[in-house]
Amino acid sequence: MTRYTLLQWIAFFYIYCFFGWCFESGYASIKERKLTNRGFLRGPYIPIYAFGAVFVLIITDNFQGNNFEVYFSGMIAATILEYITGYVMERLFKVKYWDYSDHKFNLSGYISLSTSIAWGFLSLLLTNFLQVNVYNFVSKISDQNLKNSIIVVSIIFFSDLILSIKAAFNLAKAYAALERAKSELSEVKEKLALIADDLVSETQNKLVGIKDSVAERVSQANEYITTGRVSFSALKSDIENVLSSLSNTVASKSPAYVELKIKYEVAREKVSLSLPKTGKIMSFFIRNMIKGNPGLNKKYLDQLKELSEVRKRNK
């Protein structure tokens, strides 16, 4: 097995982080025809490519010289890593940071046949070309300079990582708040619709009754005027009873309506109260995380728009 020092492995990791960012952002920039910063972190590095490169280098080391075995061992290793990473990230942050659901022969959107085939070819490129040149470059750097460089890059990298993880959890919390509020608002909407339907139905029935009653009372009024056999007080009492009945129909719904209105106000305010409070730096990381991951699962795109609108209203 090829022998590398710990410092060299760490240097390889950061270099392949950068290469992965160049590949991902370069491809996205060409596709979208504008400069695009891809990845979970904000700096020019994408760790999954580095983990994949290191993993593939370790797995394929015993197969060097046999491109067939390097291809398939690298493809399998990178595919397993991609699936595990995608699964864990979605469970942690409630968001898919890449989604192959629109690819044929995909598994839960985390991996797909086409990307696995590409990983195989990238494994050949890595082992037969990239690693040779990367090692030659790193081996020419003195141990002290290499150590100092790694310390500086590590400070920058882990600062970015900590802030990006915090931003991702803030986004997950915001999504959860929006989902809860939307669920409560949907419940309020359904109950209000039922109340409205019942109220309209009962009011219509009352109005039909009033129409018939008014016609009868007009007849009685004419009889009162012409014959005096129907008392005025009785006529007045009958009309007031009909109006009171209609009023009670509406009033009986009022408590439920008021209760639902209060619940609606609480649910609406809960969105604002549940959203994480962020400063300028964290807002920058959240904003750029959204921009840098357009491959988010489609079911989250509406939430992103809602989140943006809510934030604007709360400024």
Helix axes 143-227, 280-291, angle to 10 degrees: 90
Q: State the pLDDT at residue 148.
A: 96
Q: State the pLDDT at residue 24.
A: 87
Share of the chain above pLDDT 90, in %: 34
Q: Quick one: average pLDDT of 63-79?
A: 92
- Using the predicted structure, report yes or no on whether residue 303 has a pLDDT greater than 80: no
- Using the predicted structure, report yes or no on whether residue 32 has a pLDDT greater than 50: yes
Q: State the pLDDT at residue 43.
A: 87
Q: State the pLDDT at residue 3.
A: 82
- Using the predicted structure, report yes or no on whether residue 118 has a pLDDT greater than 80: yes
Q: Indicate the pLDDT class of residue 133, thresholds 50, 70 and 90.
A: very high
Give the residue with greater pLDDT, 94 vs 259: 94
What's the pLDDT tens digit per position in 154-189?
Answer: 999 999 999 888 888 877 777 777 677 667 666 666
What's the pLDDT tens digit per position in 36-47?
Answer: 888 888 889 899
Q: Quick one: average pLDDT of 281-296?
A: 61
Instruction: Please indicate, yes or no, whether the overall pTM of this predicted structure exceeds 0.95.
Output: no
Q: State the pLDDT at residue 9.
A: 95
CB burial of 16-54 (b: ≥16 within 10 Å; e: otherwise) equals: bbbbbbeebbeebeeeeeeebbbbbbbbebbbbbbbbbb
- Using the predicted structure, report yes or no on whether residue 299 has a pLDDT greater than 80: no
* Residue 66 C-alpha from the chain's centroid: 43
Helix axes 143-227, 67-93, angle to 10 degrees: 40
In sequence order, the β-bridge partners of residue 111 are 107
CB burial of 261-295 (b: ≥16 within 10 Å; e: otherwise) equals: eeebeebeebbeeebeebeeeeeebbebbbebbee
Q: Indicate the pLDDT class of residue 285, thresholds 50, 70 and 90.
A: low
Kindly tell me the sign of the dihedral angle through the C-alpha atoms of 80, 113, 53, 109: negative
Give the residue with greater pLDDT, 161 vs 313: 161
CA distance 84 to 41: 19
- Using the predicted structure, report yes or no on whether residue 277 has a pLDDT greater than 60: no
Average the pLDDT over each of 53-57, 156-160, 271-275 and give the range with the smallest value.
271-275
Nearest one of 98, 102, 128, 124 to 110, comparing CA atoms = 98
Q: State the pLDDT at residue 89.
A: 85
Q: Quick one: average pLDDT of 88-100?
A: 81
Q: State the pLDDT at residue 189.
A: 66
The burial of 231, by beta-carbon neighbours within 10 Å (0-12 exposed, 13-18 middle, 19 or more buried), is given as exposed
Which of 102-111, 199-208, 289-298, 305-314 shows the highest mean pLDDT? 102-111
Summary mean pLDDT of the chain = 76
- Using the predicted structure, report yes or no on whether residue 142 has a pLDDT greater than 60: yes
Q: State the pLDDT at residue 297.
A: 44
Q: State the pLDDT at residue 164.
A: 85
Residue 58 sits at the vertex; the CA angle it makes with 4 and 9, to the nearest 5 degrees, is: 35
CA distance 264 to 269: 9
Q: Indicate the pLDDT class of residue 195, thresholds 50, 70 and 90.
A: low
Which of 78-87, 195-204, 244-253, 256-265 shows the highest mean pLDDT? 78-87
